[in-house]
Amino acid sequence: MIYTVEFSPQAREDLHRLYAFLLDKTQTVEDLNVAERALAAIATAVDTHLAKTPSSIVKPEAAGACDANW
């Protein structure tokens, strides 16, 4: 069974911030696609793993992580 994975508004904002951060750190022309590759890797992980085995992922709250405002 394959599940639909939906990102929360906060998760989408985090991905946008990650993308902007990576673009900001770009120093060469070759670095320009780092942000694209990072988001593609996340999307691939969601599609190939999380959507198929959602119970294998431990939510941060369940793992005892705190809510950090980065």
Per-residue pLDDT tens digits for 17-52: 999 999 999 898 878 899 889 999 999 988 888 888
Is 60 a member of any domain?
no
Range of the domain at 34: 9-55
CA distance 42 to 51: 12
Residue 70 tokens read as: 């980065």
Nearest CA to 23 out of 32, 14, 15, 10 is that of: 32
Query: pLDDT: is 5 or 33 the higher one?
Result: 33
CA distance 32 to 22: 9
Is 65 a member of any domain?
no
70 has pLDDT over 50: no
- Taken in order 7, 10, 12, 18, the sign of the CA dihedral is negative
3-state secondary structure at position 12: helix
Q: How many domains does the chain have?
A: 1
CA distance 42 to 47: 9
- pTM comes to 0.68
Is 70 a member of any domain?
no
